Amino acid sequence: MIPASSHFDQSTITALLHHDPLVQRYRTFFSFLDWSVVEEWQQRRSSRGRPVEQPISASLKIFLLRIQEGLIYTQQLRKFLLEHPLLMIDFGFDLVLDSHAPYGFDAEKTLPSRQWIGEKLRALDRSLLQGLLASTVTALVQEIPGLGETVAFNVKHIYAWVKENNPRVFTEKGHDKHHRPTGDPDCRLGVKRSTNQEQPDGSTKEKKEVLWGYGSGVAAATTPTYGDVVLAEYTLPFNEGDVTYFEPLYRQTVAALGIFPTNITADAAYDAWYVYQKAALHGGIAAIPLNAHTTHASSRATDGVPLCEKGLRMVPTFQFAHTNGYQAQRFRCPLLHPQPDGQTCEHPQFVKGKGCVKDLNWELGGLQRVLLDRTTPLYRALANQRTSCERINSQAKELGIERPKVRNAQSVKNLNTLTYIVINVRALNRAKSINRRLLQMN
């Protein structure tokens, strides 16, 4: 709705909207989003008889503006909008008309309170935000050939807005994992980094950097021409291990891309057989270094068959469902199975008459994990793509993701999704510009 006032008629306000550089910048920014996702959500909500307050598109736009402009506090966002009332018209707010006001409406009464905006951020529908993020991935797939063939996974730490994260403030339960900070009871204590420091006597002492907060998991892809994009995101309290993020991120990635990624890359925190399984099932590899904390793997032949301590191929007997969720293959001593051959061995198990027994993960992913050659050019090229997550994390940090000024998990999750939407909109703008230039060259 275009209002009119004693100062400007509707045609003048329309002209102001058309020429205002800030309004035009955000019209361009929002044009990259698929607003049909929002319209369909709004229709479903209305069909259930739920009341509609301010248009959800207007709320989404102010929260995306908050990220884009780096307005970390809600009060800053509200002040910015009051200083730019033309944005409130263009964003589609239900205006409180006042013909005596310069732009024909009372901006202070139109704009919801700081408390309302904070509650609206917390109450945003997660499925709506995820759908909007997925729509940016769909648009990027149309612009970038081969996007998502290789997907990188990583987790970014987020500091909760609590006094326990302030090193200058002493808190009696600052490192008690059972403690619940009053500032944000949803956050959890976790280890950000663990290092060994050398002591004066030459010994080493482990030093852990801990924080109260959350982890923002991302699945990202990159190409040399178009740069980095976000394919999926998932937020958990910071006490969860990195590999916990993998399954939900992978499911979102497949849904957004419409295809299964061929290759996967991540750091050693994702060194789990089921991560390799996803790549192995689709003819690819998971470029992941072996975790130094895992137990030493048994010696294997090139086909995965284990070798006993004498270097002999062990004999497969039967397969069974392992309690850890994979199909296992049992191998027995080659000197005793399928029947004793008269040779002897000094191994204690042989002396007992049983011989060595090994139950090994016989899934494609389990085999790839132990047989993968991590020195090949292909492995190194894929492993290098892990840096796409680091660059995405760097962009997200610049947009304020690391220290959100909200005090509950739902608001943190929503701000994270909005941040990645902004990153993808920028990537889509970049991709379209590159493609236009390429077409002009032909």
**74-83 helix and 56-69 helix, angle to the nearest 10 degrees:** 100
Name the token pair of 107. 């901006």
Assess if residue 328 is contained within a domain: no
Assess if residue 277 is contained within a domain: no
- Judgement on whether residues 29 and 165 belong to the same structural domain of the protein: no
Assess if residue 312 is contained within a domain: no
- Judgement on whether residues 183 and 228 belong to the same structural domain of the protein: yes
- Judgement on whether residues 24 and 64 belong to the same structural domain of the protein: yes
- Asked if 414 and 129 count as a contact pair (C-beta separation under 8 A), the reply is yes
- Judgement on whether residues 204 and 69 belong to the same structural domain of the protein: no
Report cis status (omega within 30 of 0) of the bond before 340: no
Assess if residue 35 is contained within a domain: yes
Q: Which residues contact 176 (CB under 8 A, 6 or more apart)?
A: 189
- Judgement on whether residues 87 and 167 belong to the same structural domain of the protein: no
Q: Please tell me the predicted confidence (pLDDT) of residue 76.
A: 96
pLDDT tens, N- to C-terminus, the chain (442 residues): 788 777 888 899 899 999 999 999 999 999 999 999 999 998 887 766 655 556 899 999 999 999 999 999 999 999 999 999 999 999 999 999 998 898 899 999 999 999 999 999 999 999 999 999 999 999 999 999 999 999 999 999 999 999 999 887 767 777 888 899 999 999 999 988 655 555 566 555 556 788 999 999 999 999 999 999 999 999 999 999 999 999 999 999 999 999 999 999 999 999 999 999 999 999 999 999 998 766 556 789 999 999 998 889 999 999 999 999 999 999 999 998 888 888 888 888 888 888 899 999 999 999 999 999 999 999 999 999 999 999 999 999 999 999 999 999 999 999 999 999 999 999 999 999 999 998 887 6
In terms of residue numbers, what domain contains 171? 145-266+386-441
Assess if residue 230 is contained within a domain: yes
Half-sphere exposure in the Cβ direction for 342 (13 Å, CA): 0
Q: How many domains does the chain have?
A: 2
Closest by CA to 243, choosing from 217, 206, 282, is 217
Q: Please tell me the predicted confidence (pLDDT) of residue 47.
A: 67
- Judgement on whether residues 119 and 149 belong to the same structural domain of the protein: no
- Judgement on whether residues 156 and 113 belong to the same structural domain of the protein: no
- Judgement on whether residues 88 and 34 belong to the same structural domain of the protein: yes
- Judgement on whether residues 47 and 158 belong to the same structural domain of the protein: no
Q: Please tell me the predicted confidence (pLDDT) of residue 53.
A: 59
Answer with the one of 63, 93, 123 that is the final residue of a domain: 123
3-state helix, strand, coil in the chain (%, to 5): 45, 20, 40
Q: Please tell me the predicted confidence (pLDDT) of residue 350.
A: 86
Assess if residue 189 is contained within a domain: yes
Assess if residue 287 is contained within a domain: no
Q: Please tell me the predicted confidence (pLDDT) of residue 293.
A: 67
Assess if residue 85 is contained within a domain: yes
Answer with the one of 123, 158, 179 that is the final residue of a domain: 123
CA distance to 57, 121, 399, 413, per residue, from 38 (Å): 7, 16, 24, 19
Answer with the one of 123, 154, 169 that is the final residue of a domain: 123
β 315-321/327-332 pair status: antiparallel
The total of other beta-carbon atoms located within 10 Å of residue 203's CB is 9
Closest by CA to 125, choosing from 194, 19, 52, 223, is 52
The total of other beta-carbon atoms located within 10 Å of residue 219's CB is 33
DSSP 8-state class, residue 243: G
- Judgement on whether residues 171 and 114 belong to the same structural domain of the protein: no
Residue 350 one-letter amino acid: F
- Judgement on whether residues 20 and 119 belong to the same structural domain of the protein: yes
- Judgement on whether residues 15 and 72 belong to the same structural domain of the protein: yes
